[in-house]
Amino acid sequence: MAKFDRARFDVLVIGGGPAGLAAASRAGQHGATVGIVDDNPKLGGQIWRATCEQEHPQTARWSEQLRRANVTVFAGTRVLHQIEPGVLLAEQMQSAHELRYDKLVLATGARERFLPFPGWTLPNVFGAGGLQAMVKCGLPVIGKRVLVAGSGPLLLAVAAYLRNCGARILMICEQTSARALAQFGLSLWREPAKLAQAFRLKKDLAGIPFATRSWPVEAHGSEALESVAISRGGKGEAIACDYLACGFHLIPNTELAALLGCTIENGYVSVSDLQETSVPGVFCAGEPTGIGGVELALIEGQIAGLVAAGQIADARQLSRQRRKALCFARGLEQTFKLNPELQKLAKAETIVCRCEDVTYSRLRPYHSWTAAKLQTRCGMGACQGRVCGPATQFLFKWNPDSVRPPIFPARVESLALRATAATNS
């Protein structure tokens, strides 16, 4: 039988990745009652995702701090909706929760950007982080032939991880140019920690062909993936493989921030240097404020947690570190900007909206996302435009429209339970 619970916190944190873990533990250390919510069945977010065998050591370290600070953890729980200002509705597999807060920290992270090309809907075409997550969740890849493609530093991390798990990485196709990468590489000298990370990866990646200005053109296969045609610096090549791991850098998860009315600029949640959003009492930390990697997420999370718990002087001590990490984030954005050539990958019959099977040629006549949605159902399916929204933004320059609740498809009973609870109280 499904049940309905209520809880109240001084500080409520949404997202259990590095930013959320840092925010919750810092707020909790200062005596606030704190709750942390994550959709995943285990804490850690993307980078510290648990494997089948064990929790990531970093997650374990932060979780210990959460325990010491008496933080309440809601894992496998997703926030769907704002019932009224200061009250969120969340659901678990068998229950719904009404979560009240004084201060809210949004640490909802990022997802991969996917771009449509012929065959990208075939089974065994994954996101790059997607395949990595599947392997962490038990998929064996020993001896599997994997092509890694798309854009961003994530490709390198994924290739290194998969190779260590026994996969044969055939090639890494990066869409950006060697020149942009070289410029970025130079700027790394100012960031010793990042440089060390890059060198470690370089050893893990030794011998894997790394092709710039390269991307998948078509994935082939009858029931599932068999081979991928790529464009390698302008020349065509065919690569037989078992899995394609393909993602074009990251897109911040700003849906919840948008629903709460936080100002969003150029796709990112606007924040002050104390991580305050435009809505009083609502903070944002980590990837939604700009794609900046784990170091920036940790710094921003700590600042948000401290300020939410009233520790402004402590938070200000992190300002210098924050500014440095922000420079790195800006460099990332410049370096991995998408090549306009990628707009030509989708052909007339290529599916753009996977939930509703809407093709490129059906979308082409429209001038806005809203019109296309109404006429073709593009973006109206279960993912609510999380996959096709960023793709159509790149393909057609459409702007996303306003976010409507619930921000994930809810079970009807979650909404009904809340209504019943409200009438009974």
Partner 1 sequence: MPERVTVTVNGARVDVACGSTVAVAMILAGQPCRASVNGESRGPLCAMGICFECCVAINGVPHRRSCQVFCENGMEVRTDG
List interacting residues with ligand FAD (CB under 6 A).
14-20, 37-40, 45-47, 78-79, 107-112, 129, 132-133, 154, 157, 250, 253, 256, 286-287, 293-294, 297
Closest distance of CB 368 from ligand FAD, Å: 26
Report if residue 46 touches partner 1, rule: CB under 8 A: yes
Among ligand FAD, partner 1, none, the one that 387 touches (CB under a kind-dependent 5 to 8 A) is: partner 1
Report if residue 40 touches partner 1, rule: CB under 8 A: yes
Among partner 1, ligand FAD, none, the one that 121 touches (CB under a kind-dependent 5 to 8 A) is: partner 1
- Interacting positions 285-324 with partner 1 (CB under 8 A): none
Report if residue 380 touches partner 1, rule: CB under 8 A: no
Q: How many CA atoms lie within 13 A of 13 on its CB side?
A: 41
Smaller CB separation from partner 1, 206 or 348: 348
- Interacting positions 101-130 with partner 1 (CB under 8 A): 111-112, 114, 121, 123-127, 129-130
Q: Do residues 285 and 273 touch, judged by C-beta distance below 8 A?
A: no
Q: How many CA atoms lie within 13 A of 331 on its CB side?
A: 21
Closest distance of CB 226 from partner 1, Å: 14
- Both tokens of 100, joined, read 């009240």
Report if residue 386 touches partner 1, rule: CB under 8 A: yes
Closest distance of CB 238 from ligand FAD, Å: 27
Smaller CB separation from partner 1, 9 or 117: 117
Closest distance of CB 73 from partner 1, Å: 16
- Both tokens of 386, joined, read 């999380």
Closest distance of CB 356 from partner 1, Å: 6
Question: In the set 223, 266, 340, 412, which binds partner 1 (CB under 8 A)?
Answer: 223
Report if residue 52 touches partner 1, rule: CB under 8 A: yes
3-state secondary structure 46-66: CCCCCCCCCCCHHHHHHHHHH
Among ligand FAD, partner 1, none, the one that 381 touches (CB under a kind-dependent 5 to 8 A) is: partner 1
| Amino acid residing at 6 | R
Distances (CA, A) of 423 to 44, 74, 79, 134, 418: 37, 25, 22, 43, 9
CA neighbor of 40 nearest in space, from 4, 67, 16: 16
Closest distance of CB 288 from partner 1, Å: 14
Question: In the set 186, 196, 224, 327, which binds partner 1 (CB under 8 A)?
Answer: 224
Report if residue 76 touches partner 1, rule: CB under 8 A: yes
Smaller CB separation from ligand FAD, 329 or 371: 329
Question: In the set 133, 205, 279, 329, which binds partner 1 (CB under 8 A)?
Answer: 133
Smaller CB separation from partner 1, 76 or 365: 76
Distances (CA, A) of 146 to 121, 218, 227, 397: 17, 15, 10, 32
Where do we find the tokens 């020993």? 142
Q: Would you tell me how many other CB atoms lie within 10 Å of the CB of residue 41?
A: 11
* 276 DSSP 8-state letter: B
Choose one: 46-54, 98-106, 228-236, 360-368; the region binding partner 1 (CB under 8 A): 46-54
Can you spell out the DSSP letters for 335-391?
HTPPPGGGGGSS-TT-EEETTTTEEHHHHTT-SSHHHHHHHH-TT-STTTTTTHHHH
Report if residue 138 touches partner 1, rule: CB under 8 A: yes
Helix 178-187 and helix 319-335: axis angle, to 10°? 170
CA neighbor of 188 nearest in space, from 179, 197, 175: 197
Report if residue 357 touches partner 1, rule: CB under 8 A: yes
CA neighbor of 273 nearest in space, from 311, 316, 333: 316
The kind and range of the H/E element at 187 are helix 178-187
Residues that bind partner 1 (CB under 8 A): 39-41, 46, 51-53, 76, 78, 111-112, 114, 121, 123-127, 129-134, 137-139, 223-224, 354-357, 381-383, 386-387, 409
